[in-house]
Amino acid sequence: MDSDAWKDRAGLPEGAGDDWSRRRLCPDGNCIGVIDPDGRCRECGRAADEPPSDP
């Protein structure tokens, strides 16, 4: 099976998902999101430059 065959089945455009090395994880250690081009987490909305909150 072609390594990109899943993209065709998922309906993703050509080249989608190829930029893993440029993704930034959310600074909140409890969140699984990534930072979008606007500088905010796509999951929780936290700003990329926001300091971590106290536990």
What does the pLDDT look like over 2-52, one tens digit per residue?
Answer: 566 655 555 555 665 567 777 889 988 899 999 998 899 999 999 988 666
The per-residue pLDDT for 3 is: 63
Query: Where are the domains positioned within the chain?
Result: 22-55
The per-residue pLDDT for 53 is: 62
The per-residue pLDDT for 23 is: 85
pTM (2 d.p.):
0.54
Q: How far apart are CA 24 and CA 2, in angstroms?
A: 27
Q: Show Cβ contacts of residue 17 under 8 Å, excluding neighbours closer than 6 positions.
A: 7
Choose between 54 and 36: higher pLDDT: 36
Over the chain, what HEC string results?
Answer: CCCCHHHHHHCCCCCCCCCHHHCCECCCCCCCCEECCCCEECCCCCECCCCCCCC
